[in-house]
Amino acid sequence: MSCVRAVRGLAPVCGFQPLTVLSRGVSFSPRQVASDASFHSVSFSESDHPRVLITGGLGQLGVGLAKLLRKQFGKYNVILSDIRKPPAHVYQSGPFIYSDILDYKNLREIVVNNRISWLIHYSVLLSAVGEANVSLARDVNITGLHNILDITAEHGLRLFIPSTIGAFGPTSPRDPTPDLCIQRPRTIYGVSKVHAELMGEYYHHRYGLDFRCLRYPGIISADSQPGRGTTDYAVQIFHDAVKAGRFVCNLRPDTRLPMMFIDDCLRATLEVLEAPPETLGMRTYNISALSFTPEELVQEIRRHLPDLQVTYEIDPVRQAIADSWPMVLDDSSARSDWGWKHNYGLPELVQTMLNFTGSDSRKARAK
């Protein structure tokens, strides 16, 4: 997902720019059509492969998903977009274009000119970052979402929007958390994701939009630097363990949260996008692989790095967020409806992460 550190009036980053007064200047809105209207989605009989646009593409997941989709559908059928200048290796790996989700006209032109049939919407402000700038998070996470919904409905696209464990709150059942239960999150990130789930399902039922959504757990990846999210300790610990042999954790050692290795996350996203509509018993699914605490993660890492030193300096903001989130996600519906199955347990995840971060550390020392 694409995250943000800009404020109004400063340079834009990660999939949007500082707000201006927007004028859509188009004739279509789902609110202007009959309630029984439906929209035609491009089928695979009309096109050998989908034409895919990924918004917020320079975030944690966009580049990896583009790589997976290009293997499946062809290099030039998957377009990454963001408002930041891409690194050379990303720019050279396949199509990349500028796209601002708050610029309705720009986004609509991209969809039309590139004959987009699938849109994957990753532009968002994450949990701790959003709490530091609620107004900006509201604009990006909600106003940007509305632009995406209107354009995808108008042009009959298949729309994937990730949700999150942050869509649940302290009154939700935590162990396990089912697909359908009370959702009263206490962060703007979580509130905006509940809004996205409900709006996507509303557009599906009222306008026939092919909306699909997975509630991601904490995603662990060696390919991107950890941000400031609540679950990012589970990425930072590998970098610090390899480079310094010590780590400071900002959550309590017994804080259990659902997690997933990025390869499983990207594969799940492709699988739900490819699933035949008739197999989808719902439009928003929990998805998970494992749940662990910082202490359990430390013990597994110490099997490989026994001298790792860990101290706990609790961040009250992040701890409060973690305490309001699920401890275990029930993803049995995804497993039964479209055959979801994870590949990485905790031992496999730790071994893979240490291999990646250890390799990167050796390369850095060799320079």
pLDDT tens digits, residue range 16-35?
Answer: 333 333 333 344 455 454 44
Nearest to 224 by CA among 237, 236, 214, 242: 236
Whole-number pLDDT of residue 130: 81
Mean pLDDT value across residues 32-56? 63
CA distances from 249 to 187, 230, 234, 241, 301 (A): 21, 11, 9, 12, 14
> What residues form DSSP beta bridges with 97?
81
| CA pair distance 240, 243, nearest whole angstrom | 5
Catalytic residue among 76, 98, 122, 189: 189
- For 324, the token pair is 């309001």
Digit-coded pLDDT (tens) for 85-139 = 999 999 999 999 999 999 999 999 999 999 999 999 999 887 777 888 899 999 9
Whole-number pLDDT of residue 25: 37
Average pLDDT over all residues of the chain: 87
- Phi, psi at residue 89, to the nearest 5°? -65, -30
| CA pair distance 264, 266, nearest whole angstrom | 6
Active site residue 312: no
CA 119 to chain centre: 13
| CA pair distance 99, 96, nearest whole angstrom | 9
For residues 17 and 347, the model is more confident at 347
Whole-number pLDDT of residue 360: 57
Mean pLDDT value across residues 245-262? 97
pTM for the complete prediction? Answer: 0.85
Lowest mean pLDDT among 122-126, 140-144, 273-277, 354-358: 122-126
Q: Is the pLDDT of residue 42 over 70?
A: no
| CA pair distance 219, 92, nearest whole angstrom | 26
Nearest to 208 by CA among 156, 132, 273: 156
Q: Is the pLDDT of residue 152 over 90?
A: yes
| CA pair distance 162, 154, nearest whole angstrom | 21
* CATH 3.40.50.720 boundaries in the chain: 31-217+262-286
Q: Is the pLDDT of residue 41 over 90?
A: no
Whole-number pLDDT of residue 233: 95
- For 249, the token pair is 């954790």
Residue 245 sits at the vertex; the CA angle it makes with 244 and 250, to the nearest 5 degrees, is 90
Whole-number pLDDT of residue 175: 97
Mean pLDDT value across residues 156-167? 96
* CATH 3.90.25 boundaries in the chain: 233-258+290-329+344-366
Whole-number pLDDT of residue 359: 61
| CA pair distance 149, 156, nearest whole angstrom | 10
Query: In CATH, what number does 233-258+290-329+344-366 get?
Result: 3.90.25
31-217+262-286 fold: Rossmann fold (3.40.50)
Q: Is the pLDDT of residue 180 over 90?
A: yes
Whole-number pLDDT of residue 230: 85
Residue type, 222: A
Nearest to 311 by CA among 245, 220, 258, 219: 245
